[in-house]
Amino acid sequence: MTIQGPSPDLRTRARARLLLIGGLVVVSLAGCGQTGHGVALSQRARSSGPAIGTPGSPPVTGVPGVTGVPGVPGVPGNKPGPTPSPAKPGSGGNGRCAGYPNPSCTGVPAGTRLTPLANNNVDHSAYRILTPGTVLQNVHIRGDLMINANNVTVRDSQIDGTVVGEYARVHYSFKLIDSTIGPARGCISLHAVGDMRYTASGLLVRGHSSGFMVSGDNVTIRDSFVRNCSNGNDHAGGIQVWDVHNNKNLLIQHNTLEQRGTSSHTAPLFLYDSNGGTIVNVSVIDNMLAGGTYSLELKRAAGRLIVHGNKFVNKSWDYAPMESTCSVIDWAGNTAVTVDGDYRVTSTVRPVACVS
């Protein structure tokens, strides 16, 4: 039996975590009917005090290594950090990796000195950005990152928790570049990055049951490495589309999505509109997919769908390399391969045909 996307429990935990780290005062959790949990979150939000950057919050001093004002409008003492470094050679092609992405050529570049940022949301579990155009560079956030402003850029940085680009059902645009997302140990039963209007490149994603969540339009994910984990019944996935209506403009290019050895899993690449809409204008190009029930699922799709040049690690799947709506897919050059420990292709086993 194919596992179809994240479990309801995982979705509920994701919504609860979003409300908690944002300090949103609520009465109940949407769709779960557990008003007691909503009251607990409401009480915690009131008792934790105001978020930094709101009236009555404590003053904030300058943070070295941070360009601009990191989410605190009008607070004196913040000084511009160093100018962002120029794009690395090969950026936009294969990123920093000579071949397919792996842990040694993704994430925070070797030798980068990181400046810790103190968590500033209501319960000090997350760092919250409120100012449009904020750029964070060379920083370490020991918790979640809440992006509550548009046109935010985070580069050469480490976030130990989850990156959330939504607050009170408003979605914000952001870029994550050459950064590490997730803890070095343990497993968080949530997506690492979500959920629409974002670009991710050169990321090392670890310690999460789901790598990237896409629940809206205009997402680009490239040159990144995702290693899933699982706590019991997490239904892990590398990149997952769910809880959307008519998702469009998604580019997934030159990533490695590793799911082998994950106890509870769906697919490294799971693109399936569970709400009866359609997925339109999707390109899945030159990715390395390992593990899963099926390594690729692309269903309830329409419009311009391109699946070209992807590598499926041979016999790493439970049932088959893919299961998709082939009638609407431009399918070409996809193969089953063997790889070494650095995800270099050691042999091409056979072409992989599209199977509905």
Residue 43, helix vs strand vs coil: helix
Nearest alpha carbon to residue 199 among 252, 248, 127, 260: 252
Domains of the chain from N-terminus onward: 92-351 (2.160.20)
Positive or negative torsion for Cα 119, 124, 125, 128: negative
CA–CA separation, 228 vs 242, rounded Å? 17
- Local confidence pLDDT in tens for the 356 residues of the chain: 333 344 444 444 454 454 444 443 222 222 232 222 222 222 222 223 333 333 333 333 334 444 433 333 332 333 333 333 333 333 345 689 999 999 999 999 999 999 999 999 999 999 999 999 999 999 999 999 999 999 999 999 999 999 999 999 899 999 999 999 999 999 999 999 998 999 999 999 999 999 999 988 999 999 999 999 988 888 888 998 866 666 789 999 999 999 998 888 889 998 876 666 677 888 999 999 999 999 999 887 777 789 999 999 999 999 999 998 888 899 999 999 999 999 999 999 999 999 88
pTM given for the model: 0.77
CA–CA separation, 202 vs 176, rounded Å? 8
Distances (CA, A) of 162 to 190, 254, 283, 288: 8, 22, 25, 24
- For residue 58, the one-letter residue type is P
Burial of 311 (0-12, 13-18, 19+ CB in 10 A): buried
